[in-house]
């Protein structure tokens, strides 16, 4: 099994703000890693947090790896050799992606609360959804339309947090189920049907959450980022089915304890104006991939948890960094392919970070 994931590095210079990493899961060897930088256009990022830094959603189809930066879908082969870039003036603050094929990719254009289906050959928009323009969402969530000129290049216009504060949905994930498009509104803790203009699930635990996977039976899987858990919802019954609390696993608790004291000390110093920025939160849960019964969950400091989600067991754990400012963002686990096995042996990685077996 191969795992591809992206990182965001808080407070780093934007040009060193994150990577796309390829790991052989069996050996835990990093096969290759490449920097992800928002260029063409280059951006002047005033935010010391993540903002334009690093990589976001990851998709893998056959021999193609697609990774989002702040405003671009970057295309690589399975050995992370860069092939080309795809961007559009309405791709602004990309977060998670959903690929129906290697040629058609849904993106969450989070800074402007839009879901866009991108043609990877022409860089044109095949379909789009602007939920803040829907009367049903305006009524249910008490939000107003956003003032945006869709005819200009918006990619560098929403870097200040002030431009996204009023009525912002923080649409940060999109998924397709039964040919209908769903999204996650992180600010409202809501899973919504964009096609019907309906709030399907609303749960305070999902405020600030990330990722959205919908299984064939209508089970929606979402990371409860601040609750440090993964939550499963029945979209048809509109109910919570189960919760996997990541801190119930001793290995995860040990990872949290290692960084918690420093985190709380920095919070105290920040209140006293002795620490410049909001400190990065340990066990910040973001990044989600499912492969059969196996669930892969990203956390900070950059680590990946490997679970049997049906049994609720932690099977394995890989620690990429011990710096809590280095966070996983996008994540995709894929089965091995015979066509890339030989090439994988020839690609030199940048070292083999420590891995930790589960309890």
Least confident of 19-28, 41-50, 82-91, 217-226: 41-50
Q: Which two three-digit tokens encode residue 49? A: 């947090």
Q: What is the DSSP string of 80-138?
A: --EEEEEE-TT--SEEEEEEEETTEEEEEEGGGTEEEEEETTT--EEEEE-GGG-HHHH
pLDDT for position 264:
78
CA 110 to chain centroid: 11
CA distance 233 to 70: 29
E strands present in 270-334:
288-291, 294-299, 303-308, 313-319, 326-334
Q: 359: helix, coil or strand? A: coil
If one compares 357 and 215, the residue with the highest pLDDT of the two is 215
pLDDT at 283: 93
**Pairing mode of beta strands 229-234, 219-224:** antiparallel
Mean pLDDT of the chain: 90
Higher-confidence residue of 272 and 335: namely 335
d(CA 275, CA 270): 4
d(CA 28, CA 19): 17
> Could you write out the DSSP letters of every residue in 122-164?
T--EEEEE-GGG-HHHHHHHT-------TTS--TTS--SGGGG
Residue 351: pLDDT above 50?
no
Mean pLDDT of 125-136: 97
Percentage of the chain lying above the pLDDT 70 cut: 92
- Residue 12's pLDDT is 85
CA distance 331 to 6: 7
Instruction: Tell me the per-residue pLDDT of 85-105, one tens digit each, with 9 for 90 and over.
Output: 999 999 999 999 999 888 999
pLDDT at residue 166 in the model: 74
Q: Which two three-digit tokens encode residue 201?
A: 């699930």
The distance of Cα 274 from the centroid of its chain, to the nearest Å, equals 31
Tokens of 86: 């795809």
For residue range 140-181, what is the model confidence (pLDDT) as tens digits? 999 998 889 999 999 999 887 666 667 899 999 999 999 999
> pLDDT tens across 276-306, in order?
777 788 899 999 999 999 999 999 999 999 9
Q: CA neighbours within 13 Å on the CB side: how many for 236?
A: 7
Average of per-residue pLDDT across 32-59:
88
pLDDT at residue 355, as a whole number: 41
At 219-271, the pLDDT tens digits run 999 999 999 999 999 999 999 999 999 999 999 999 998 888 887 787 888 78
CATH 2.80.10.50 fits 2-350, yes or no: no
Average pLDDT in the 120-149 region? 95
Sheet holding 190-193, edge to edge: 171-177, 180-185, 190-193, 198-202
**Per-residue pLDDT, 30:** 98
pLDDT band for 346, please (50, 70, 90 cuts): very low
Q: Among the listed ranges 244-258, 307-321, 345-359, which one has the minimum average pLDDT value?
A: 345-359
112 φψ region: left (φ > 0), alpha (ψ -120 to 50), beta (else)? alpha
Of residues 80, 83, 154, the one with CA closest to residue 116:
154
Contact 76/64 with Cβ under 8 angstroms?
yes
Predicted local confidence at residue 342, as pLDDT: 40
Q: Is the pLDDT of residue 136 over 50?
A: yes
């Amino acid at each position: 099994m191969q795992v591809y994931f992206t990182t965001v590095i808080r407070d780093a210079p934007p040009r060193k703000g994150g990577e796309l990493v390829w790991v052989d899961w069996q050996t835990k060897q990093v096969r290759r890693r490449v920097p992800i930088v928002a260029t063409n256009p280059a951006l002047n990022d005033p935010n010391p947090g993540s903002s334009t830094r690093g990589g976001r959603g990851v998709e893998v189809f056959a021999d193609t790896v697609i990774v989002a930066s702040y405003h671009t879908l970057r295309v690589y082969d399975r050995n992370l050799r860069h092939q080309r870039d795809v961007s559009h003036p309405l791709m602004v603050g990309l977060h998670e992606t959903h690929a129906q094929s290697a040629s058609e990719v849904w993106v969450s254009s989070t800074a402007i609360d839009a879901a866009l289906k991108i043609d990877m050959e022409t860089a044109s928009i095949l379909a789009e959804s602007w939920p803040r323009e829907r009367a049903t969402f305006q009524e249910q969530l008490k939000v107003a339309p956003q003032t945006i000129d869709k005819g200009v290049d918006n990619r560098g216009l929403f870097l200040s947090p002030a431009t996204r504060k009023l009525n912002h949905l923080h649409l940060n994930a999109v998924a397709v189920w039964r040919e209908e498009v769903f999204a996650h509104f992180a600010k409202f803790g809501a899973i919504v049907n964009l096609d019907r203009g309906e709030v399907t699930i609303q749960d305070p635990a999902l405020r600030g959450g990330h990722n959205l996977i919908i299984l064939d039976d209508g089970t929606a899987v979402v990371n409860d980022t601040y609750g440090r858990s993964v939550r499963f919802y029945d979209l048809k019954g509109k109910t919570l089915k189960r919760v996997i609390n990541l801190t119930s696993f001793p290995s995860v608790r040990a990872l949290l304890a290692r960084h918690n004291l420093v985190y709380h000390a920095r919070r105290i110093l920040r209140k006293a104006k002795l620490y410049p920025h909001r400190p990065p939160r340990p066990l910040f849960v973001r990044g989600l991939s499912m492969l059969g019964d196996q669930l892969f969950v990203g956390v900070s400091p950059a680590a990946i948890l490997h679970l049997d989600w049906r049994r609720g067991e932690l099977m394995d754990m890989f620690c990429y960094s011990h710096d809590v400012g280095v966070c996983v963002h996008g994540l995709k686990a894929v089965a091995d392919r015979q066509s890339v096995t030989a090439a994988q042996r020839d690609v030199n990685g940048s070292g083999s970070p420590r891995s930790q077996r589960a309890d």
